[in-house]
Every structure is written in structure tokens, then in C-alpha cells.
Amino acid sequence: MNYQQFFKKAKEKDISNIQITEKHSIDSSVEIINGKIESFEDYDNIDYNIKAEYHFKTVKTSSNYLEEDILDQIIMKAEATDSKYEDEYLEKKEKIAVKKPIDFEISKEINILKELEKIREKYKEVKKLTTYFGENYTNTRIINSNGVDISTDSHLCNFMVEAIVEVDGEFTSFDRQILTTNKSTIDFYAFTKDVIEKAIIESKKEKIETKKYDIILDSYVAGRILSHLSEMLSAANIRNKISCLDNKIGEKIFNQNLTIVEDPTDKKYPGYRLFDDEGTATTKKIIVEKGKLNTYLYNIKEAKMKETTSTGNGYQGIGTRNMYIIPGKYSLEEMMQEMKDGIYIVDYMGASGTSINTVNGSISLQIFGFVVKNGKIESGLEPSIMTTTIFELLSNIEKVGDDLKFTATSSASPSLWIKGISIAR
């Protein structure tokens, strides 16, 4: 059933508004372990998220096809709910034509990944080297019964490396990832060599005493922590009083060195979108400016309840695309040299009572990384616990690095040098 037939049938069933978000994904990926292909995926898939209004009730559903039974499900859902919530449906949008999908294939990258086995062979400590490369094209189209038909697309490449080394009978793993819109910028060999060498250094672990340390958060770690900020900024969580940033608009809550923006309109970053999943146009916004909180994040539903406008953050609830900390001018090496002694954190795990609590802002994480002495990485770090709050962590920033890196479409960060954070072994 095509769209016009679907809309016509919806009208016959007394569905007054109906809007479809179509996601068309084309993906190729390969995983190679010790030079041999472990898995290969190649797919072309279309999914639909549908919202519709029936007797003044808006309901939502998902499907991988469009047939009459989907409309029957919508009616059943509406009849089964007491909610009188009415959503907004796009109107009078200038048509944005669906672009022809990008042609790509990854045979060249498969050969490169196989060649990376030669690097592994140079290091007797490496017992397992896993490499992964994936390329993806996604087109998001919104079409509705009001005649709206708009489209936005993205093209991403993802390279990951994990090295497992054995030193003195102990196994240690280290992994890293690159997410980019331009695969020609990936230096596969240098990236893999760096992962292997860091895995070997990390295997020689050192116990530290419990106290406050200067730390450097690797860009990967800082970006992951930043991703939790979207939950704290969510207007839904603010309304429900489950965010530590409630009533903080206009306040200086973080260090003046910290400015956080969200810019889905910048095509060089992987979260590029012309509009969110609800069709609201995306814009560049300064969320935190020199430590001061400027805005919360709204989708259509929360904006209507607050009698304001959506900020273009309607992604399966409320989320972000291309949210990042503005980079500074210091390289990672320069920050280490100036810090002299401290901890370089490259990964964390939120398990066994450790977490980032978005309700009260507390942070307790099992961390992994390296001990820095005299400005250089000296050894690995025995798994330790970092205890702080989002306010202390982002207020104690000494310097911001220049190495902004994306490992997700939602958020990213450069490396951060932060003073006086409690680490317990």
C-alpha cells in the first residue's frame, strides 16, 4: 500500500490526522578477528513510526510495513487509552525531495582490515585483534495527510579496534572507536597501532592510594558522560522533577571554560539532521555558555505543555544530535605535561552500584586508564572508583583539549583536564 492509499484508508476510518516518519537505512559492515572475517552484514531496510489522531486522541505505533491492519491497531490503541493528548501535525512545509541513496561498498576497507594483521604480528603480547568497519546511509522522511513531504539524510563510517594482550599470564583489553562522515580521514594503521600499544601499557597495572587527583578524561569518556546531560536537560524530566538541573536556567553551574552547543545543522559532524523525528527544524543552540545554563530541550509534546516552542529535540522522546563541548587549544600531550602527575581515564563501567545519577547529579564510576607521572603515561591503572558530581566534575575543569572526537551521533567532547577528583582503589 503506498502513502496516498494509506492516507485515504485512514480518512475512511475516521482518523483525522496521520503522519509517518520513514527511516530508510542501507548498511554494510565487517568484523575481522586476527586477520579472518568473523562476520559480514549487508542490508537495506525501511521502518515506519506512525502517529495518528482518532477522536481527539493521538497515539503512536511502529511498523516495517504499511497496510490496513496498522490503522486498525491505531484505532484500538486510541480506544484503549484515557489520554486526551492531542499532538501537532506538520503543515505548510516546503517539500524536500528524497535524495537518491549514496552508492558505496566496503571491499577496500575489508582488505585494509585484513592487512592490519601484520601490525598484530609485530607484538607478541597481542593474543586477539578485533577490527570492525561499518558504513551506513540513512534517509529520514516525514510525510503526512496534510501534504507535507520532507527528507533529510546522513552518511556515516564507523571504525573500531579492540586488542587483547597477555602479559605475565594476565589478559587486558583496550578498544577505541572512530565515527566520521568521511572515511578518507581515517588512518587505519596509526589508530590500530595506538590501540595495541595502549593495551600493552595498560596491562602493567599500578595500585594507587585513595585521594583526590588531577585527572584527564579522554575524549571518548568525556563524550559518554556528556551524553547523560541530555537526560538532565530534558523538559520531560524537568517537569517531572527528576533532573538535577531543575530551576537552573540562567545560573552559572559549570566552569567558565565550558561551552556546550548542539548543532545538527553542521554536516561535517555525524549527527547531521535538517529536522528532528517530529519534523521540527533543527538549529544551532548554545546550551551552556561559559558555564551558564541557557536552555532546556523540548519536543512538541513538552513544548505544548509549557506553552513554548519545540527546540527540535524530538528524537524518540527527547534527545540530541551533534551536542559537543567547544574544543580548547591544548593537545592531550600538552595537558599531560602541564598536569605532570595524575590519572588519564580512558574508559568506565557503570555496574555494581556505580552510575551517573541524572536525578541528583552524583557520579560513581569504575574507571580504567593510566597513571601519569612527570607528564607521561607510565603504567596502567588498577580498576578504581571515581566519586564526584556532574557539578564538581564540570566546574573543576582546568583546560579543554583540542581533540574533539565523535563516537556517537548524539554527543562528543574533547579531552578535559579536571582538578581535584576523588579516586578510590
Tell me the pLDDT tens digit for each residue of 402-417.
999 999 999 999 999 9
Return the SS3 of 120. helix
Of 251, 232, 255, 250, the residue nearest 242 (C-alpha): 232
Q: Which of 198, 18, 176, 152 is nearest to 90 (CA)?
A: 18
What is the mean pLDDT of the segment spanning 3-26? 94
Render pLDDT for 154-165 as a digit per residue (tens, 0 to 9). Answer: 999 999 999 999
On whether the CB atoms of residues 386 and 214 are closer than 8 A, the answer is: no
Inter-CA distances, 216 with 94, 268, 363, 416, 420, Å: 47, 26, 16, 5, 11
pLDDT of residue 101: 86
Rounded to an integer, what distance in angstroms lies between the CA atom of residue 369 and that of residue 127?
Answer: 20
Q: Nearest 5°: phi and psi at 10? A: -60, -45
What would the mean pLDDT of 297-313 be, rounded to a whole number?
94
Inform me whether the pLDDT recorded for 66 exceeds 60: yes
**Gap between the Cα atoms of 243 and 233, Å rounded:** 7
Instruction: Tell how far CA 364 is from the center of its chain.
Output: 21
Neighbouring C-alpha atoms within 13 Å toward the C-beta of 194: 9
Question: Are 319 and 313 a contacting pair, CB within 8 Å?
Answer: yes
Cβ-contact 188, 113 below 8 angstroms: yes
Q: How far is CA 407 from the centre of its chain?
A: 7
Task: Give residue 92's pLDDT band: very low, low, confident or very high (50, 70, 90).
Answer: confident
**How confident is residue 96, by pLDDT bands cut at 50, 70 and 90?**
confident
Cα pseudo-dihedral 342, 348, 352, 355, rounded to 10: 90
Indicate if the pLDDT at residue 81 is higher than 90: no
% the chain with pLDDT above 90: 88
pLDDT per residue as tens digits for the range 354-375: 589 999 999 999 999 999 999 9
Closest C-alpha among 328, 302, 324, 329 to residue 413: 324
Query: How does residue 195 score in pLDDT terms, banded at 50, 70 and 90?
Result: very high
Query: pLDDT-derived band of residue 85, with 50, 70 and 90 as boundaries?
Result: low
Average pLDDT, the chain: 94
Residue 353 has pLDDT above 70, yes or no: no
**What would the grid cell of residue 183 be?**
572515511
- Tell whether the model's pLDDT for residue 352 goes beyond 50: no
| The pLDDT of residue 329 is above 80 | yes
Task: Return the H-helix or E-strand segment holding 349.
Answer: strand 342-349
417, with CB counted inside 10 A (0-12, 13-18, 19+), is: buried
| pLDDT(93) > 80 | no
Residue 105 CB contacts under 8 Å (≥ 6 apart), including other chains: 28
Give the mean model confidence (pLDDT) for residues 20-45: 96
Q: What angle do CA 212, 215, 221 make, to 5 degrees?
A: 130
Q: Are 318 and 301 in contact (CB under 8 A)?
A: no
- Residue 356's closest CA among 225, 223, 220? 225
Confidence band, pLDDT 50/70/90 cuts, at residue 350: low
* 400 membership: H or E segment, kind and range: strand 397-400
Residues pairing with 33 in the sheet: 36, 130
The whole-model pTM stands at 0.89
Identity at 9, one-letter amino acid code? K
- What domains, with CATH codes, occur in the chain? 3-201 (3.30.2290.10), 204-425 (no CATH)
Q: Report residue 165 CA to chain centroid gap.
A: 28
Output the nine-digit C-alpha cell for 119: 601490525
